[in-house]
Amino acid sequence: MDAYLCHASGDYTGKRCTDLHNAVWLRLRIRKGSYWADPQMGSRLHTLARAKDTPQTRILARQYAEQALQPLLDDKRATALSVEVSAPDTGWLKLTITVTQAGGDVLTFTLPVKVI
């Protein structure tokens, strides 16, 4: 069991994590190629910080999140995932990610992504 990471701060909470919470969070927040133990881990969502809020940028955000989480499906730790993208505020995209764990539990994550 890993220590549970807080989505908002990235700090440990003192609780134990028994689900895919940390795996999803780390894969989305780490820049692809920057993790020393696994250069394939991470996402390219950080590259959208200089992109305009267009339909193409929203498609890229969904694709980048899906690519980052694909190893969870490949390893059979998750059975399904979906990514929805919305733009509630100017300059931000909101990704709503739903992951179905191998045991059937469903986890939902919300991730803000900065855009121009």
The dihedral built from the CA positions of residue 71, 11, 15 and 96, taken in this order, carries a sign that is negative
Give the model's pLDDT for residue 76.
94
Q: Is the pLDDT of residue 1 over 50?
A: no
- The structural domains of the chain, with segments of one domain joined by +, span 2-114
Q: Token pair of 1, please?
A: 């069991």
What is the average pLDDT score of the chain?
Answer: 86
- Choices 3.10.450.40, 3.90.190.20, 3.40.50.2300, 3.40.50.150: CATH for 2-114: 3.10.450.40
DSSP symbol at 32: T
Q: Is the pLDDT of residue 10 over 80?
A: no
Give the model's pLDDT for residue 13.
54
pLDDT in tens, 67-91: 999 999 999 999 999 999 998 888 8
16-31 mean pLDDT: 81
